[in-house]
Structure 1
Amino acid sequence: MNKISDIPLRKEVLEFLSHSATYGNLGAFIGAGFSKAVLNDEFNDIALSWGELLEKVAEELKVDYDDIWKEGVGYPDIASQICQKYSEQSKKTYNQSLRRLKKEIAKLTSWYPDKEKRAEFSPHLNELNLSWVITTNYDLVIESLLTGKSVPLGPNDPLIAPFGIVPIFHLHGVRTNPEEIIIAQEDYVGLFRPTEYRQIKLALMIKESTMLILGYGLGDVNVLTALDWSKNVFKSESENYPNEVIQVVRKENPKEHPYRDKNAVIIVETSSLVSFFQEFSKVRKEKVEEEKKQSESLRKLAKQLDDADESMIEKFIDDIAFRKDVLKVLSSFSNDLISGFVSFLNKCIDETWARSEPNGAFQGYADNLTLILDILTSFSIKQIPPALFETTAYALQRVGYYVGNAYGKSFAAKAVWDKRSGEISQEMINELKSFAMQHQYSYIRMLCRQI
């Protein structure tokens, strides 16, 4: 499941997030609403929105916030106006005023969840199994909840972290380095250069991941630009990995069913982030349990393949239903099983050759060819592991000598080839021809000419 349906069900979205967490490409885009959800309660409003933060900064700088023109302008422009007024009042240069404003921002965002808040929210973030976080927040709330499992990165840092550590990329800067804070209009100018690392990286991460948006309203123009680039600049015809943008929106009366907005973003409404996390946690636990059972089944099958006895080898050759089931599992989980299966397949092919040794025992060649055709038709050329293709193609060359209606050939094998060779995809046939040409395998070329 790499995409969610156009009219998704709530559980479908939650299961998709769990699938992405297991796959290892679930990222989060986190805004100020997340910090407010974690820190604020009915008694205290510790965390501030961007607008509230600017109003508080103006108060600290003794700038009349009511005198700032706010109609039809964004927060970066409001920040620039505050700097300009402070510059005029204090007789400082504009750049000095901007540095002072950024230092005040750093002071005012000194927000840290206490142990009760960490105990409540840390398990939820850990359960998401995030590969990365991008945030517009200056604070270190996320790092506080992922203590020992994350690293904060500023806007000038490459977005990379050691294995097992979640990189938290502060798109607009981190409070521990006020100089890098992006707040005023002029700070944004460099963000839209054609080769700007952050913009390209953000677009690629959206393209290559499932992105969960928490506490953010998709209003930042460079985030919207990155979303557009991910769809229209870095586009591809097919994606073989989970990829969606899912936004959690808090509403007093949330809709039961998710829906897509004009940008095809999936909107999931919830009464609170805690409520959403609890919903996800229930689904995640169910899916993890299913994955454990599946993993155990795969381990059991892998061990059976590694330690295959004569009865299992004979069952794979003679029991069509069993063989189809094994190949179906193999095609879905080839990375888990391929090493043991190649060895097992060689044992099965050796058994068919042993069956052909008695005089007139031509059915063994037909059994041999049937195994080969089942493999060639169970995988696409993009799916089949290289080692399995080589093993199967070599087996086809070896048995090819005996496929025919002439004296000393296996009529039964010829009948199998005539009946089933048309099931092989053209891409697989082309690959067999290329393989035969490189290795001078004449019997593969002969068989392919008959298709």
Structure 2
Amino acid sequence: METEITRGSILNLLSSSIIYGNLGLFIGAGFSKAVLDDDQDLGALSWGELIEASSSELSIDYSSIYKTGISYPEISTLICDKYASDNNIPYEEAKFLFKSKVCELTNWYPDSEQRGIYSEYLELMDPKWIITTNYDLVIESLLTGRCLSLSPQDYLTSPKEAIPVYHLHGIRHNPESIIITQEDYVKLFRPNEYRQIKLALTIKESTSLILGYGLGDVNVLSAVDWSKNIYKEENVSNVYPNEIVQVIRVDEPKEEPYMDKNNIIIIETNEIESFLKEFTDAHQVNLRSHVEQMEEIRRMNGELTATSDVKVNKFISDQGFRLGLLEALSKFEIHMISPFIDFLSRCIDKTWENAMPYGAFHGYNENLTVLLDIIIHIEFQKVPPALFEFVAYSLDRVLYYVGNSHGQSHQAERTWQSNKDEISREMVKELHGFAKRQRYINLERKLGSLLIT
């Protein structure tokens, strides 16, 4: 992040991502435990608790399984090996039965009160995608009618208006999809595995908020590394909010967030719900500001569409007003470009009207001044194609009357000479190339000398 990492700036980042439309959620078992309430007897189990409970259901003595220094997937493999041996059945059958018990034991659903509370949080966050390592359907119970459950065998896509909930490690209504043993995880590391590539790209293109997950999964960490390093381009400015923010639950949370060794922003809280309440309050403030801003843009568009001669004359003669409108256009191109071009066309027509009387050369200067402000004060990369084309045509047309010869505007020539060096090199090259292809002789001639210097 270019800005200072503070609690306020991170909450604003997440809020901006909701407004932009690229917030994604990465949800782990801690989220299910928070929704189901840790104090409930039938609350959600952690990964280790789930493996132990599943082995108990299969009458496997969990204490007899060697666990020192090995991972949960390796422990799950040992359990399946022992169950196969004890019952004289094939390993694959034992593994299926073990996974079936995992599915049975993740039969968790929040009560109506908790569902109402957390549904509101998710509705407000309006995630574009949810990736979860959970087998349960807690997320789906909070987003009834608004989401699509996806298993590891599915692609991360969904119909319009539906949030894809991608169960990275499998989903409880399909035991075959459950990824829990060592060999299950080996498959995740196959070269060019869709899931691994898609994870990295999804993270790269979004602001990812991690809730109730400790980033202990190696393939997830690998995707995070890919998104920050392999898919890294120099000198490319992000025009969208993009960070990875992890919410960590601790008894004594730090006030301010910090960056960990993986360049992930960590924000601490004593409870996930406490963070969600804090974030909700911050987002509602930003959302009100955004709504007011959009209302102002609509008001401006309305004025541009139904413009009087007073507004047209002000745009032509008042540079402060003109630059303010151009700045708004740069920030809100999508919302403003169509009414602005219509308005600009009327302004340019007015300058031609002003130039019609005999000797009224000031009209050409007005025309040129307006066009120069556009190509100087709007960043080259932010000039919409339709606006670029209109300006190029208009410049070629007015430049015929700009110069020191008889019948030309000397004032406009002085304006050109005073401002031409402020046109960016990129803009000059683009305009010159376009003028050459379109045979805009006046524009090509004027810009040709700028390319030589």
Tell me which interval the TM-score lies in, with the shorter structure as reference length.
Answer: over 0.9
Q: Distance in 2 between matches of 1:231 and 1:254?
A: 27
Equivalent pairs, count: 448
Which amino acid is 2:156 matched to? L
What residue in structure 1 maps to residue 422 of structure 2?
423
What residue in structure 2 maps to residue 219 of structure 1?
216
Among 89, 106, 109, which residue is 2:106 paired with?
109
- Does the CA-based 8 Å contact 2:327-2:378 persist in structure 1? no
Structure 1: stretches of 5+ with no match in the other structure: none
What residue in structure 2 maps to residue 204 of structure 1?
201
Q: Deviations over 1:226-257 (max 9, x none)?
A: 01111222222322211100000001110000
- Following superposition, the deviation at residue 192 of structure 1 comes to 1.1
Which amino acid is 2:158 matched to? A
Q: Distance in 2 between matches of 1:431 and 1:68?
A: 70
Q: Distance in 2 between matches of 1:373 and 1:176?
A: 64
- Secondary structure of the 1:169 match is strand
- Does the CA-based 8 Å contact 1:103-1:178 persist in structure 2? yes
- Following superposition, the deviation at residue 40 of structure 1 comes to 2.6
Alignment of 1:181-192 (within 5 A): 181-192=178-189
Which amino acid is 1:393 matched to? A
- Following superposition, the deviation at residue 54 of structure 1 comes to 0.4
- Secondary structure of the 1:198 match is helix
- Secondary structure of the 1:268 match is strand
Among 168, 172, 177, which residue is 1:171 paired with?
168
Q: 1:43 to 1:180 in 2, by over 3 A?
A: closer
Which amino acid is 2:422 matched to? E
- Does the CA-based 8 Å contact 1:139-1:174 persist in structure 2? yes
- Does the CA-based 8 Å contact 1:377-1:425 persist in structure 2? yes
Q: Distance in 1 between matches of 2:154 and 2:40?
A: 37
Alignment of 1:239-278 (within 5 A): 239-278=238-277
Among 38, 43, 48, which residue is 1:41 paired with?
38
Normalised by the length of structure 2, the TM-score is 0.97
What residue in structure 1 maps to residue 337 of structure 2?
338
Q: Deviations over 1:354-400 (max 9, x none)?
A: 11111111111111001001110122222111100000010000001
- Does the CA-based 8 Å contact 1:331-1:378 persist in structure 2? no
- Following superposition, the deviation at residue 25 of structure 1 comes to 0.6
- Secondary structure of the 2:161 match is coil
Q: 1:277 to 1:36 in 2, by over 3 A?
A: same
Q: Distance in 1 between matches of 2:243 and 2:407?
A: 59
- Following superposition, the deviation at residue 120 of structure 1 comes to 1.4
- Following superposition, the deviation at residue 45 of structure 1 comes to 4.6
Which amino acid is 1:179 matched to? E
Q: Deviations over 1:59-117 (max 9, x none)?
A: 01111111112121111001001001111111111111000011001000000111111
- Following superposition, the deviation at residue 44 of structure 1 comes to 2.3
- Secondary structure of the 2:176 match is helix
Which amino acid is 1:302 matched to? N
Which amino acid is 2:315 matched to? F
Which amino acid is 2:258 matched to? Y
Which amino acid is 2:356 matched to? E
Alignment of 1:38-437 (within 5 A): 38-237=35-234, 238=236, 239-437=238-436
Are 1:32 and 2:23 matched, yes or no? Answer: no
- Secondary structure of the 2:383 match is coil
Which amino acid is 1:210 matched to? T
Q: Distance in 1 between matches of 2:415 and 2:303?
A: 29
Structure 2: stretches of 5+ with no match in the other structure: none
- Secondary structure of the 1:450 match is helix
Q: Distance in 1 between matches of 2:379 and 2:295?
A: 26
Q: Distance in 2 between matches of 1:296 and 1:44?
A: 50
- Does the CA-based 8 Å contact 1:313-1:347 persist in structure 2? yes
What percentage of aligned pairs have identical amino acids? 50
Q: Distance in 2 between matches of 1:309 and 1:345?
A: 13
Q: Deviations over 1:169-199 (max 9, x none)?
A: 0000000111111010001122111111101
Normalised by the length of structure 1, the TM-score is 0.98
- Secondary structure of the 1:382 match is helix
- Does the CA-based 8 Å contact 1:259-1:266 persist in structure 2? yes
Which amino acid is 1:207 matched to? K
- Following superposition, the deviation at residue 43 of structure 1 comes to 4.0
Q: Distance in 1 between matches of 2:345 and 2:327?
A: 18
- Does the CA-based 8 Å contact 1:4-1:16 persist in structure 2? no
Q: Distance in 2 between matches of 1:404 and 1:75?
A: 80
Which amino acid is 2:174 matched to? N
Which amino acid is 2:225 matched to? D
Are 1:440 and 2:429 matched, yes or no? Answer: no
User: Which 10-residue stretch deviates more, 233-242 or 290-299?
Assistant: 233-242
- Following superposition, the deviation at residue 149 of structure 1 comes to 0.8
